[in-house]
Structure 1
């Protein structure tokens, strides 16, 4: 038989069906347990009421036996009613000495209880009346001796009441279960309608247009929270997509410039080999190739950071030694004044990555400084605080967060002399974050930009 003609397996049932069936099972078990408990409580209540009625009749007759002999009793005490079926008075030998009209000739019980004790629920002797509950009381009188009073109560009405309750519950329970299952199915269908609208809208959103958002239900429930979460996710995807497009465009722009320069120089050398001399190689080809190499390395580092694969190899590192080495390098090829206040500080970090951070910050400060670069390193309550500033134009307050974005530069032009590639501070932020530190920008005492880095210091 073809599989398509077979009913779906339970694992393939929809949420509506599974929810409705779960309600059916739970409600059926709950109603069954409630019916059983109700029936038991009702049965015990009715039995207790019948026992109280039997006890009252037993004590009434026993009181009369304290005053008169069984033959002299008022016949009104031995008259049955709608519930009491039969009454017998037995002597010490379990022989019937008095009884109500219509009661059996044989004793309804042969086992006599102890004096002055009431016993309920005794079984009648074989051959006596059926469907009755026997209660007994033995009393002793100086006038009449020892006698046992036996009262039989009809159980048919009690059983009919229990059966009626069971029938009513049996009739009503399926309707209750069906109503609960239908309500659950409708409620889940309504909730899934919102989910289906969200799914349809998400399926229609393409990478070409990420501006669309899913509908948010008016109810403030979990479905609305899901819709808000989906919209937040779409916003993050859109922002990431836009950032990626900007990143690709900026990377292409930055790589195009050195490639164009190198290509032009090589074409010139191919057309006129005599012009491809050492000066052209040293002043044009090598600097542009080096710039392209650095840019490629920066892009690879940022790509690894995006994939959380920026590997660091932390060891005990003297941050002051790395800083001193890079300051000496900076002083060797600049006319700027470099002021320092460096204290010995040790951190746990990757020396190569930390050196790259210091190099980027010093080069960045030297690029924008008018005359002075200031460097400070100190330890403050288990934190290494590194400050590198300049006396240049500074960074406006509203730009201080954005300068850590990739390819972002305050200058609108693409001058390689003033703007760089726009990746230096982005790399600094990624490396510092990987070392569980923080970086931010303040205003230096000379009015320029002051980059502040805080890293966990070693003991």
Structure 2
């Protein structure tokens, strides 16, 4: 239930809660560690002072016995709270004023060697640590007992714990409030972006989200959103142009077919066998074939837009495909068609590559004056196919634009010349599916050169 309630909070409140929780845990761990370090450090200092006092008293007992013990060594302070010298019979023969006349520890518990930090819960000083050593003096065997004062250590550690306990709520509150304010301020920018995106519709894609002045993740999000909206707008406009152009292209052959059929229906008496055959052969069939080719091209481009072209992968003799297309072009045109072909084998789709070559050769023949030249070469980057004509050429500023759909350059790319404006767009899609690229440059004289470059990974050298 608590988790469900926190899930209903805003990002600012959840962030503040998480920040406060983290600070609370961190302060708890840091406070416990600090208290432990202070305690161990101070305790080590007291143990060291007690061990030093035991060693000094033992040295004098060994040298001169209990009678020669310096009274200064029996003095006490905050760290040394009691001093006793106990003989072998268990009697206290020298002691500090604060020490009782009975042994603070059992002599038998000391043993040989120095003992540091012996706990004794029932001493007159409360819970006190003792350091002790048994030595043999000049006249007897003695046990030196020094009581260590730990009250100061406890009070100091307690003071630190109390100070942290008082400061912790203030630190936690400040961190939570600061986190809430900062996150809330950042989320206002996100909310502005959300509100603007909610207002943007397909009829007004020119709108953009506000970009905050800060150069942080929110600003980067706004910039990315605007770039995405620009891409969506460009795609939407391209789609509208595509639909408009496709409708226009399909309307022309349909209008021609419908007009011919209306004439036939309105004047059946003039439809003799010869007239009907001429109508079908010269009007209906060419327009129907033209419409079929256009629909096939549109479907191919639609598949390329949706998921990319699905092409076959098999060994292809590219020079043989080019030779076939050259022979076809020689039969269909009076142009001078030249080929400079180097044997090249690559992995690809022979049907798709044939369509690329056919489109390029038909396009070159459509605009050439007298000659079309085709070359196939291996180079450092793979396979290079170049189709060159001696036609009017393409201006440098239009050489990239002609690969767009339904693009015709003035009268040279008019419908009467036989093109639909999709040929080069299809070429680019097929070449890209084979891992290559296509570009346009100057050709023979003022003509055009179209170069298809396939990546070296596609070629088998």
TM (norm. structure 1) is 0.92
For 1:294, the equivalent position in structure 2 comes to 293
> In the alignment, does 2:179 pair up with 1:184?
yes
Q: Any conservation in 2 of the 1:109–1:123 contact (CA below 8 Å)?
A: no
> How far does residue 164 in structure 1 lie from its aligned partner after superposition?
1.1
Q: Any conservation in 2 of the 1:385–1:453 contact (CA below 8 Å)?
A: yes
Q: Which of 4, 17, 30 in structure 2 is aligned with 1:21?
A: 17
What pairs with 1:20-419 in structure 2 (closer than 5 Å)? Answer: 20-66=16-62, 68-71=64-67, 73-110=69-106, 111=108, 113=110, 117-124=113-120, 126=122, 128-142=124-138, 144-273=139-268, 274-275=270-271, 277-381=276-380, 383-411=382-410, 415-418=414-417
Q: Any conservation in 2 of the 1:319–1:344 contact (CA below 8 Å)?
A: yes
Deviations 1:180-212 (A, max 9, x none): 122112211111111111111111111101111
Name the stretch that deviates more: 10-19 or 101-110: 10-19
Unaligned runs of 5+ in 1: none
In structure 1, distance between residues paired with 2:74 and 2:3: 70
CA-atom RMSD, angstroms?
2.3
TM (norm. structure 2) is 0.92
Name the stretch that deviates more: 406-415 or 223-232: 406-415
The 1:220/1:435 distance shift into structure 2, 3 A limit, reads: same
For 1:457, the equivalent position in structure 2 comes to 459
Structure with greater proportional helix content: 2
Deviations 1:93-151 (A, max 9, x none): 33211222242232111135456x43221133746442222122333332x33222212
SS in 1 for 2:307: coil
SS in 2 for 1:168: helix
The 1:280/1:155 distance shift into structure 2, 3 A limit, reads: same
> How far does residue 224 in structure 1 lie from its aligned partner after superposition?
1.0
The 1:325/1:89 distance shift into structure 2, 3 A limit, reads: same
The 1:125/1:393 distance shift into structure 2, 3 A limit, reads: closer
Q: Any conservation in 2 of the 1:444–1:450 contact (CA below 8 Å)?
A: yes
In structure 2, distance between residues paired with 1:8 and 1:380: 66
Name the stretch that deviates more: 273-282 or 178-187: 273-282
Q: Any conservation in 2 of the 1:108–1:125 contact (CA below 8 Å)?
A: no
In structure 2, distance between residues paired with 1:71 and 1:379: 112
Q: Any conservation in 2 of the 1:94–1:112 contact (CA below 8 Å)?
A: no
SS in 2 for 1:38: helix
Unaligned runs of 5+ in 2: none
In structure 1, distance between residues paired with 2:419 and 2:404: 14
The 1:125/1:289 distance shift into structure 2, 3 A limit, reads: closer
Deviations 1:284-304 (A, max 9, x none): 111111111111111000000
> How far does residue 64 in structure 1 lie from its aligned partner after superposition?
4.1
In structure 1, distance between residues paired with 2:334 and 2:413: 25
